[in-house]
Amino acid sequence: MNRSTGRHFLQIPGPTNVPLPVLAAIAQPTVDHRGPGFPSLTFEVLEGMAAVFKTSAAIVIYPASGTGAWEAALVNSLSPGDTVLMVETGHFASLWRKMATRLGLKVEFLDGDWRRGANASEIETRLVEDHAQKIKAVAIVHNETSTGAVSNVASVRRALDAAKHPALLMVDTISSLGSIDYRHDEWGVDVTVGGSQKGLMLPPGLSFNAISQKARLAARSARLPRVFWDWEDMIAANLTGYFPSTPATNMLQGLKVALNLLQEETLPVVFARHERAAEATRQCVRHWGLEILCSDPAHYSSSLTAVLMPDGQSADALRSMILQRSSVSLGNGLGKLADRVFRIGHLGDFNDASLLGSLAAIEAGLLTSEIAIKSGGVEKAIASLVSSGHLQIAAE
């Protein structure tokens, strides 16, 4: 095999690049998770995650992918046959629906076109119609990783309040937490789902629930079976600084450092960095003459941009060629978007130089593939970054 020179550009929407200090922390010797020194690590990461979720509510950490945290949210708070209202915003909303159905829940799925976030007005209308209040939860995806569209969580909360409906509000933040502003308490969310491998700058392997008191009360009468996922077992053990089963000790060591990096940069600066990169990417894509999948600018994601290919062109062939020639990995289209879009991740540990290098490789790939675009998109991205007053091309 030919050796690939230079660094690899991982520009998928997760897993994202892991900073060297985080990798070094994960590589430290494994600690005794029952030893006297472990509680300080537990308390520190729980406090750090509370700051990221912007909550004073209970937080639990599972040694699992985000899918595990999805399941935990459902099985802790609901009973067989309960109705959950979900919104078809993309591939991951559809997967959450599939999970709920397999768990024995009844799902009402509000149709969507995969090009925008959840429509709060449609949610409110359905809740107003639910006179018997059979809907026990509303579950939405904050940032739909398959489409690059964000749902306005605050507006969904207002929809529940306007309808005077007691349903729990559940939100998936797997590709937004640590990248896009999120406020668990202020927005009245009952269960927030998160994962380690995106904005938190860790490998896959940790997932999170932030849990309101209302959700904990609902869990007392919820009858879906749960053992490993049980919130109260986790919360009770965490109060002592320990876990009810073996935690992912080395990942927790990495999480501690990742949270310190976010705190050092500060969350407002982190969010602004992501939005600058997102806007520069959109300016570049528009100049090329390609279409951004998210059709509503109010729903644009700061974490990623999904780009529609022209009719008759293969997104997967383009991605493969760019990877082979430039060692740049781009996200593929998922579900009904397979081979129709490529996704540019701009989240986690990145800077302007890594973004511009990736956009240059994509532009070169488009031109090499003889796809009809207008060259010069990278210059538009540079101009966008310069106009923001924050162009930061850091040396290695």
Residue 319 is assigned to a ligand binding site: no
Residue matched to tokens 């945290």 = 69
Overall size of the chain counted in residues = 396
Beta bridge partners, 60, equal 209
Separation of alpha carbons 87 and 139, rounded Å: 7
Q: What is the 3-state secondary structure (H, E, C) of the chain?
A: CCCCCCCCEEECCCCCCCCHHHHHHHCCCCCCCCCCCHHHHHHHHHHHHHHHHCCCCEEEEECCCHHHHHHHHHHHHCCCCCEEEEECCCHHHHHHHHHHHHCCCEEEEECCCCCCCCCHHHHHHHHHHCCCCCEEEEEEECEECCCCEECCHHHHHHHHHHCCCCCEEEEECCCCCCCCCCCCCCCCCCEEEEECCCCCCCCCCCEEEEECHHHHHHHCCCCCCCCCCCHHHHHHHHCCCCCCCCCCHHHHHHHHHHHHHHHHHCHHHHHHHHHHHHHHHHHHHHHHCCEECCCCHHHECCCEEEEECCCCCCHHHHHHHHHHHHCEEEEECCHHHCCCEEEEECCCCCCHHHHHHHHHHHHHHHHHCCCCCCCCHHHHHHHHHHHCCCCCCCCC
310: preceding bond cis by omega (within 30 degrees): no
CB 206 within 8 Å of CB 251: yes
CB 384 within 8 Å of CB 279: yes
Beta bridge partners, 328, equal 9
Separation of alpha carbons 148 and 13, rounded Å: 9
Q: Which parts are annotated binding residues?
A: 343
Q: Which parts are annotated binding residues for substrate?
A: 343
